[in-house]
Amino acid sequence: MLNVCADRYRFTVGLAASLLRRKVSLLPPTHTPEVIRRLAAFAPDVFCLTDEEQCEIDLPQVRYPPAEDAAAGWHAGGWRVPELDAAQTAAIVFTSGSTGVPVPHRKTWGHLARCVRDGAERLGLADGRAHAVLATVPPQHMYGFESSVLVALQSANALCAEHPFYPADICAALARLPRPRALVATPIHLRALLAAAGEVPAADLIVSATAPLSQELARESEQRFGAPLIEIYGSTESGQLATRRTARERQWRLWPGVCLTLDEGRAWARGGHLEQPTPMCDELEVIDAERFLLHGRLADLVNIAGKRSSLAYLTHQLNSIAGVLDGAFFFPEEPQTSAAGVTRVAAAVVAPGLDAARLTEELRRRIDPVFLPRPLLLVERLPRNSTGKLPRDSLQALAAQALPAARRV
């Protein structure tokens, strides 16, 4: 079943129904026609559950029933929470496509439940108080799936059905919730929210994931919301693995039972809720049995003229320039496949009021000149998806459009 319900409550009801009927929920990164075509080839019996009046997904569709029809099935005499086989395949999730073609990963109910229960303990969501959880990320994404849907089902918290996007809507939705309340967001959502909003509603917990969070943004978030901010480290392949209080510490602390080992320079996660040893796509430095440092994605490492950096570091420096609203470094083509056989980096930036010359001058003060972007693209907005990520193919499409003009200059 492809569950595309936008309402988080309806998505959760659909998930529960699929679990009871032993249907597998498919959670792809997007719903583009090409992704749907691949999904139908991957699972020929797939159908779509939707709560939209007009859903354009080219699959057999089941409509979420109107509210009055759903209420007719309620029995006032009470009900028993069903027990599910821990070994039952609950979902197949797909990588985001930010580093290539989406890859499927099977998730059993038992391992998903253990992961989010461990996470609830770490986040302080298992203290007996019913937190109201508001998320800016969709429930179809692995982070939103775990931190706004499964955590509510497994730790006696309440999920908010809304999926606010704009800063004013996020503030209004958060203010309506009873205390204690938690906001599950991403760095790009937090940055936009704090930049656009004046006074923000108080919260009791802020959670962030999907991309590294700067310590400056973490501290500002804690100060403005009056709540601790906990950053989660994980991946589609592994699920959630570790947390840190980013405003106060650089080191990450692993989930109970999870350990990291190094094999030929690559970190592998084992134990705990993991169904099998899982290679990490990041460069990790193991401190001890419980803690590690994150140095960036392996695919993000840049080596030019014998000098090394990372896309994450370069992006951080770009976004530190006054007047830059959003920006990202990326490879305009596959690393080390340019015509000259040399790795190049590009950058796309949203910076009204700044021109390319001024941005390049500011970058020269922050990074080695060999890493200056070619091309440097000035755009109205970056092609971020609903979780704030930037798929590689979208960024490369931007570069492809700009390169012919750049070569004529």
Across the range 169-190, mean pLDDT stands at 94
Contact 225, 217 (CB under 8 A): no
> Mapping DSSP to helix (H, G, I), strand (E, B) and coil, where does residue 407 land?
helix
C-alpha 312: how far from its chain's center? 15
Quote the pLDDT of residue 406: 45
φ, ψ (nearest 5 deg) of residue 49: -100, 125
What is the per-residue pLDDT for 34? Answer: 84
The confidence score (pLDDT) of residue 69 equals: 60
Query: Which letter, b or e, does each residue of 12-35 get, where b requires 16 or more Cβ atoms within 10 Å of its Cβ?
Result: bbbbeebbeeebbbbbbbebeeeb
Residue 73: pLDDT band (50, 70, 90) is low
pLDDT band per the 50, 70, 90 thresholds, residue 195: confident
Distance in angstroms (rounded) separating the CA atoms of residues 99 and 58: 26
| pLDDT exceeds cutoff 90 at 23 | yes
* DSSP run (H or E) holding 69: helix 67-71
Judge contact between 234 and 212, C-beta under 8 A.
Answer: no
Query: What is the pairing mode between strands 258-263 and 266-271?
Result: antiparallel
Which has the closest alpha carbon to 27: 19, 39, 44? Answer: 39
Q: What's residue 22's pLDDT?
A: 96
For each of the domains in the chain, give its residue range(s) and CATH number, in order of start.
2-296 (3.40.50.12780), 305-408 (3.30.300.30)
Return all residues near 17 (Cβ < 8 A) that are at least 6 apart: 23
Distance from C-alpha of 121 to C-alpha of 254, rounded to nearest angstrom? 12
Q: Please state, for a pLDDT cut of 70, what percent of the chain lies above it.
A: 90
DSSP alpha helix (H) spans, 124-231: 142-144, 151-155, 167-176, 187-196, 215-225
In this predicted structure, what is the pLDDT of residue 282? Answer: 87
As given in the structure block, the two tokens for residue 254 are: 């692993």
Please state, in angstroms and rounded to a whole number, the distance separating the CA atoms of residues 104 and 260: 23
Query: Could you give the residue ranges of the DSSP H alpha helices within 97-243?
Result: 109-123, 142-144, 151-155, 167-176, 187-196, 215-225
Residue 163, both tokens: 């999926």
Q: Does 33 score more than 50 pLDDT? A: yes
Strand order of the sheet with strand 258-263? Answer: 258-263, 266-271, 278-279
The Cα–Cα gap between 280 and 262 comes to 10
CA-based nearest residue to 275, from 49, 88, 7: 88
User: Residue 337 has what pLDDT?
Assistant: 43
